[in-house]
Structure 1
Amino acid sequence: MLSILPQVLVDGLTLGFMYAVVALGYTMVYGILEFINFAHGEIFMVGAFVGTEVLLIADAMGSLKGMNPYIALVLMLVIGMLVTGALGVGIERIAYRPLRNAPRLVPLISAIGVSFLLQDLVRFTEAVARNEFYLNSPILFNNSINLGFASIPQKALIVIVIAIIMMVALTLFVNKTKWGIAMRAVAQDQTTASLMTINVDKVIMLTFLIGSSLGGATGVLFAQNYGTIDPYIGFILGLKAFTAAVLGGIGNLRGAMVGGIILGLLESLAGAYMGPLTGGAFGAEYKDVFAFSILILVLLFKPEGLFGEAVKEKV
């Protein structure tokens, strides 16, 4: 069991960084609007399909063979981020902004509706275009780096590096730029921020643009790492990313990052060791149960999350 531990940790980190980046989208929207954008997992799914279609179209045109794989990856990421960023802005404008002053349950139902709509749109589009909606993405990086104690697939290393770059860039943007300060001000008090000449609508639109772009980029990385995608991949992964955001402290960027990495590692360890430790009573298929059990425990004993702060209401 110890001999496979390094490989399990590598797989867990790869999965954890993907959870972390998707969780950032949840926690950014919640930090400003205080509602959960349950369509965010489907935005991740759209990014996976857009990136895969870019490769399939390039392959059909015969230009993929002579293309540098890093250039192809950058092209996938840029197009995927542009499409999903525009999609996120459109969803906010059409499905959320008119409901901003409605009871909290109303935009939540709208988000669930958008989620199902995106699933069916992608399924219909792919069925018409390719007569199937399960796609196998051409893998750009098939080599592995042998470290002796573990073998790291090149595609997994690329996922980790790009995820770290995106998380660092977002942290610097939120903490160091004028728009980042405006986002934090709106998150603290929308009314006061608007009185200080901050355009609240633009800040919210920018939040959806950034969060959706990051989700779309993660979808591209997911397709490259796992190969096969379908219109339903965003549902479970989105729920797990939401679990990671709650684990770290919903509304806290650092918490979302740490929560995603912790959840990925725990899920990978559970998938590898749950069977041997329970004598085969519980196999790797129970790793999802393990992940959502963590959500229940966090909500029961520390609902504010690892890095969240309990809100004290003054009377």
Structure 2
Amino acid sequence: MFKDWSTFVELTFAGLTRGSLYALVALGYTLVYGILELINFAHGDVFMIGGMIAATFVINVFALSPYPGIGMLALAVVVSLAVAMAGCALLNATIERIGYRPLRGAPRLVPLITAIGMSYILENIAFVWKGPRPVSLPPTLPSGDAFTIGTCPKCASYQWSQLFVLIVTVPVLVGLVWLVRYTKRGKAMRATAQDKDAAAMMGIDVNRTISFTFLVAGALAGAAGVIFAFYQQTMQFNTGFTLGLIAFTAAVLGGIGNLQGAVLGGLMIGFIQDFNEGLGWQAPGSAWTHTIVFGILILTLVFRPQGLLGEQIPEGG
């Protein structure tokens, strides 16, 4: 099946890299769904705005040349992350305040349609801001291999650009776990997700907690957008649509509303995509990648709608 063991290891590395990015975006979907039972289809476009912010800083603010020094690169990454996470957090909270909160008591289809409308609004804003063509970033991440496993030429390598994704993603994921599990805000989020009325009776400000959840989800999307922009070196006004749907598939696969499920689903989709694209004639190939991903979405909804780690919801419950 594999030419040698190094092919398997490299595809695993690639899947881990791609999957961790999907997991970061999927967590935003699952946070919002867990507390509101709302599919925020504008989330992928918030991710795209984060990438556009990173592109603006790289090209217009820092004017980075290809392969800058590590100090300048680190400064650009940190500043881009800070601005994108803050900006996308505020953007997401604003969307909740003006687009979703007034519709909280409406039939479920109404906020869903509003979310789709918000998605198109953000895409059009990016279209006017950056134009229809992809925004290309200069290659800024170090080239070459961060490390290798085995003896070359039959060795498995892990590139610096792939390592960059994990270096940024893992602390963000750890920070989210700490926030949700150990802080007062996180406990309020969990209580509100379980029972809004009971949480309100216990003195929790439900509206403020929901707004905070959107802030956190937006910050995650902003961070993912920055990582994607530096890693892929490109961003377009409609990038968030496709990647957002893939991340949504990951959230559904793992069990939407379940944080561990979002991470598991993201990693699984990443592995499936990279193994499909990397096995050559033994797999359908890259032309079928999106078909496979969305086929997984349909199969999950048909046969296990609660996802791999989600709980079965009783009829009428």
* TM score, norm. by length of structure 1: 0.92
Residues 235-246 of structure 1 aligned to structure 2 (within 5 Å): 235-246=241-252
Residues 40-55 of structure 1 aligned to structure 2 (within 5 Å): 40-55=43-58
How far apart in 2 are the matches of 1:267 and 1:61? 32
Q: Give the equivalent residue in structure 2 for 1:136.
A: 136
How far apart in 2 are the matches of 1:292 and 1:171? 28
Matched, 1:304 2:310: no
How far apart in 1 are the matches of 2:32 and 2:305? 18
Question: Residue 42 of structure 1 aligns to a residue in which SS?
Answer: helix
Identity %: 42
The answer to whether the Cα contact below 8 Å between 2:146 and 2:163 also exists between their aligned partners in 1 is: no
Matched, 1:35 2:38: yes
Question: Residue 146 of structure 1 aligns to a residue in which SS?
Answer: strand
Shift of 1:196: 1.2
Please tell me the residue identity of whatever aligns with 1:182: A
Q: Deviations over 1:196-248 (max 9, x none)?
A: 11101110010000001111110100011111110111111101111111111
How far apart in 2 are the matches of 1:285 and 1:206? 40
Question: Residue 306 of structure 1 aligns to a residue in which SS?
Answer: coil
Shift of 1:61: 9.0
The answer to whether the Cα contact below 8 Å between 2:45 and 2:241 also exists between their aligned partners in 1 is: yes
The answer to whether the Cα contact below 8 Å between 1:52 and 1:138 also exists between their aligned partners in 2 is: no
Q: Give the equivalent residue in structure 1 for 2:285.
A: 283
Matched, 1:95 2:96: no
Shift of 1:301: 1.8
Residues 1-315 of structure 1 aligned to structure 2 (within 5 Å): 1-3=2-4, 4-60=7-63, 67-127=71-131, 133-143=133-143, 144-148=145-149, 149-273=155-279, 275-277=280-282, 282-312=284-314
Question: Residue 310 of structure 2 aligns to a residue in which SS?
Answer: coil
How far apart in 2 are the matches of 1:299 and 1:105? 18
Shift of 1:314: 8.2
How far apart in 1 are the matches of 2:101 and 2:235? 31
Question: Residue 158 of structure 2 aligns to a residue in which SS?
Answer: strand
In structure 2, runs of 5+ residues without a counterpart are: 150-154
Query: In 2 relative to 1, CA 65–160 (structure 1 residues): closer, same or farther, beyond 3 Å?
Result: closer
The answer to whether the Cα contact below 8 Å between 2:16 and 2:267 also exists between their aligned partners in 1 is: yes
Shift of 1:165: 1.3
Q: Deviations over 1:141-199 (max 9, x none)?
A: 12222314322221211211221211111111111111111001110111111111110
Question: Residue 312 of structure 1 aligns to a residue in which SS?
Answer: coil
Please tell me the residue identity of whatever aligns with 1:86: L
Query: In 2 relative to 1, CA 304–141 (structure 1 residues): closer, same or farther, beyond 3 Å?
Result: same
Moved beyond 6 Å, runs of 4+: none
The answer to whether the Cα contact below 8 Å between 1:270 and 1:290 also exists between their aligned partners in 2 is: no
Please tell me the residue identity of whatever aligns with 1:231: F
How far apart in 1 are the matches of 2:22 and 2:130? 26
Question: Residue 237 of structure 2 aligns to a residue in which SS?
Answer: coil
Query: In 2 relative to 1, CA 103–121 (structure 1 residues): closer, same or farther, beyond 3 Å?
Result: same
The answer to whether the Cα contact below 8 Å between 2:33 and 2:39 also exists between their aligned partners in 1 is: yes
Query: In 2 relative to 1, CA 133–178 (structure 1 residues): closer, same or farther, beyond 3 Å?
Result: same
The answer to whether the Cα contact below 8 Å between 1:59 and 1:65 also exists between their aligned partners in 2 is: no
How far apart in 2 are the matches of 1:123 and 1:160? 30
How many residue pairs align between the two structures?
306
Please tell me the residue identity of whatever aligns with 1:53: T
How far apart in 1 are the matches of 2:194 and 2:3? 47
How far apart in 2 are the matches of 1:247 and 1:139? 34
Let me know the Cα RMSD of the aligned residues: 1.8
Please tell me the residue identity of whatever aligns with 1:18: L
How far apart in 1 are the matches of 2:133 and 2:105? 37
Please identify, of 291-300 and 64-73, the stretch whose mean Cα deviation from structure 2 is larger.
64-73
